[in-house]
Amino acid sequence: MTLRLRLTLWYGTLLTLALTAVGLVGYVASVREQYLTLDRVLVTSARLVETGIRRSGRSYALEADTAGPGKDGIVMVLRSYTASGVLLDRSPTDPGLPETRPRDPLASPAPPAYQEVLPFTLPLPVASQDNLRAYGTLSVNGQRWRRYVVEIQRAGATVGYVEALTPLSRLDASSLHLARILLNVSLFSVIAVLVSGWWLAGRALRPVERVIRAARSIARSEDLAQRVPTGHDGDEVGRLPMTFNEMLGRLQAAWQSQERFVGDASHELRAPLTVMMGNVALLRRHPSLDAAERDEMLGEIETETLRLSRLVEDLLLLAQSDAGETLRLSPQSLTEITQEAIRDARKLANRHLITLEAADQPLIVSGDRDRLKQLLLILLDNAQKYSPPGTAVQVSLHQDAEGVRLSVRDQGGGIPESALPFIFDRFFRADPARQRATGGAGLGLAIARWIAEQLDAELLIQETGPQGTTFLLNFPASVAVPGSSGLGLGES
């Protein structure tokens, strides 16, 4: 069952219940009151006759001018009987009703007259203790008559009976009419609510419908560029398409970056493989090459193999970072790790003057020793790759109230401003033409930033220009382990 149908049925059921309850209570209360009023009129009329008979042996109420239809249009028939139950006198309003036995209602009183027109039985009012007065109901020619009989006693002996009768046909008909009106109005209201509920639910759920259609269409076409048309509704359901579109946007960006990553990675992997395969083919085809040429080719194969294995290692690390892998952190001496990284950088390419300016005592941060060293090597390697040989690369290490800062400053040509927003992106190179010369695949800074994030540190470009570039690694005070040294100068 659809949500729209379910909502509509809920509305309908609740309204039907409410209308039934209100209608029933209103109907019962109004009908009951009208029948009881009629009963009270019967009592008053019978009492009038009874009083007359008690006082003077007869009642004027039975005469034509007093016994006509009342102002309220109620026809009242009044009769008096002898002690043995023989009809003695009747008002001129009597349309010739059959004679009745006045003792019958006294022997078995009738239930309230409204009981007949109610759809259920109401609890009966407490019966009167006085068995000299009682109500009865007659059926004459298919019409109901309500009667009220009073037994008149004098000194304990019955002297006669008084009876008041009134037809119930008008009240019965009007009660039936009222019931029909209530039923029709309720039916009409329920149908109107079902129709408007169906329309309203459809309108309210339209954004959901649009999202479902878009999701189906995306699943069929695998086109994440599709968007759901958004309306102007600011409610929860109205915001759904916008939220869905935001999610699609993010999915599309993630998908595109994944595609780019796979494309770039295969491109990067292909380049060294092509060089290696070319050299191997040459060596096979020309077995008589002299030793120097063979050495050169084998050297190239070796360089490309190293490049390839570095690339595969970087890709693996990035894949781990994408998989949400985290580093195990423990207190590390940043000073010691920096000194070690500088030693390694010198070993790899000793064409720059790398200096370290640091505190005497070791600065301790929370980190992963190997990854921290990898980050520093990436910065030192870049500083050497992108600045002229013989220039200085200055590393400085400080701690102040805001935390621990490590900066790597080179005297290269700087990073073009247009490249700055992308410098930490995977496979991004500011100058792709220099790719082969530097041997970089554009993954270094992406890895460095991931490591920095893992250490809760910040890696940024402090300044860059024709005088050189300074990368800054910032460990906030909350990450720097307290108790490490103050400032000082040292040279490694």
The site for ligand ADP (CB under 6 A) is made up of 378, 382-383, 386, 410, 412, 415, 423, 428-431, 438, 440-446, 469
Q: Which is nearer to ligand ADP, 179 or 415 (CB)?
A: 415
- Which sign, positive or negative, has the C-alpha torsion 480, 481, 486, 491? negative
Please, what is the minimum distance in Å from the beta carbon of residue 325 to ligand ADP? 20
Q: Which is nearer to ligand ADP, 239 or 310 (CB)?
A: 310
Q: Which is nearer to ligand ADP, 224 or 430 (CB)?
A: 430
Q: Which is nearer to ligand ADP, 50 or 410 (CB)?
A: 410
Please, what is the minimum distance in Å from the beta carbon of residue 394 to ligand ADP? 12
Q: Please, what is the Cα angle at 195 between 194 and 201, to 5 degrees?
A: 80
Secondary structure string (H, E, C) spanning the chain: CCHHHHHHHHHHHHHHHHHHHHHHHHHHHHHHHHHHHHHHHHHHHHHHHHHHHHHHCCCHHHCCCCCCCCCCCCCCEEEEEECCCCEEEECCCCCCCCCCCCHHHHHCCCCCHHHHHCCCCCCCCCCCCCCCEEEEEEEECCEEEEEEEEEEEECCEEEEEEEEEEECHHHHHHHHHHHHHHHHHHHHHHHHHHHHHHHHHHHHCHHHHHHHHHHHHHHHHCCCCCCCCCCCCCCHHHHHHHHHHHHHHHHHHHHHHHHHHHHHHHHHHHHHHHHHHHHHHHHHHCCCCCHHHHHHHHHHHHHHHHHHHHHHHHHHHHHHHHCCCCCCCEEEEHHHHHHHHHHHHHHHCCCCEEEEECCCCCCEEEECHHHHHHHHHHHHHHHHHCCCCCCEEEEEEEEECCEEEEEEECCCCCCCHHHHHHCCCCCCCCCHHHHHHHCCCCCHHHHHHHHHHHCCCEEEEEEEECCEEEEEEEEECCCECCCCCCCCCCCC
**Closest CB to ligand ADP belongs to which residue?**
440
Please, what is the minimum distance in Å from the beta carbon of residue 333 to ligand ADP? 25
Question: CA-CA distances (angstroms) from residue 263 to 199, 257, 427?
Answer: 50, 10, 10
Q: Which is nearer to ligand ADP, 362 or 440 (CB)?
A: 440
Please, what is the minimum distance in Å from the beta carbon of residue 471 to ligand ADP? 7
Please, what is the minimum distance in Å from the beta carbon of residue 256 to ligand ADP? 20
Q: Which is nearer to ligand ADP, 224 or 415 (CB)?
A: 415
Please, what is the minimum distance in Å from the beta carbon of residue 435 to ligand ADP? 7
Please, what is the minimum distance in Å from the beta carbon of residue 447 to ligand ADP? 8
Please, what is the minimum distance in Å from the beta carbon of residue 245 to ligand ADP? 33
Q: Which is nearer to ligand ADP, 266 or 418 (CB)?
A: 418
Q: Which is nearer to ligand ADP, 259 or 463 (CB)?
A: 463
Q: Which is nearer to ligand ADP, 59 or 382 (CB)?
A: 382
Please, what is the minimum distance in Å from the beta carbon of residue 246 to ligand ADP? 30
Please, what is the minimum distance in Å from the beta carbon of residue 429 to ligand ADP? 3
Q: Which is nearer to ligand ADP, 163 or 410 (CB)?
A: 410
Q: Which is nearer to ligand ADP, 201 or 383 (CB)?
A: 383
End-to-end CA distance of the chain: 77
Please, what is the minimum distance in Å from the beta carbon of residue 348 to ligand ADP? 14
CB distance 161 to 85 below 8 Å: yes
